[in-house]
Amino acid sequence: LVSGVSWIVMAVMLGATCSRPALQADTLIEYRVSLVGALFLIGLYVSSLSSCLAVFYGAPRVLQAMGRAKIVPLLSVIGVGRGPNKEPVVAILVVGAIAFVFVFV
């Protein structure tokens, strides 16, 4: 709720203070109108990093659960885990390979 309201307030504030062509052309307009631009960029990088880490830790578990439940028959290989905690090693490698392809292509 708080983040949704803050995004709405940010959009309204930018709409009230910036021209339409500037909003359409400048992707870092928040940085330019911010009082402390460096803090904005640090927050941007930290939130991007936390989102990436959440996806990288969550996606293999979801793939493993889908493989165990045999929702998609081809994913049954990914459903196997290693060790006492059933770590999704194969799913981690699949997610890493997909991330590698999207980063470098």
Collapsing DSSP to helix, strand or coil, 18 comes out as coil
- Give 7-63 pLDDT, tens digit per residue: 899 889 889 988 899 889 988 888 888 888 888 889 888 988 888 888 888 999 998
pTM reported for the whole predicted model: 0.60
Q: pLDDT band at 81, cuts 50/70/90? A: confident
Answer yes or no: is pLDDT of 101 > 90.
yes
Q: What local confidence, expressed as pLDDT, does residue 54 receive?
A: 87
The Cα–Cα gap between 73 and 68 comes to 10
Which distant-in-sequence residues (6+ apart) come within 8 Å of 73 by Cβ? none
Q: What local confidence, expressed as pLDDT, does residue 8 receive?
A: 93
Residue with the two structure tokens 């307009």: 29
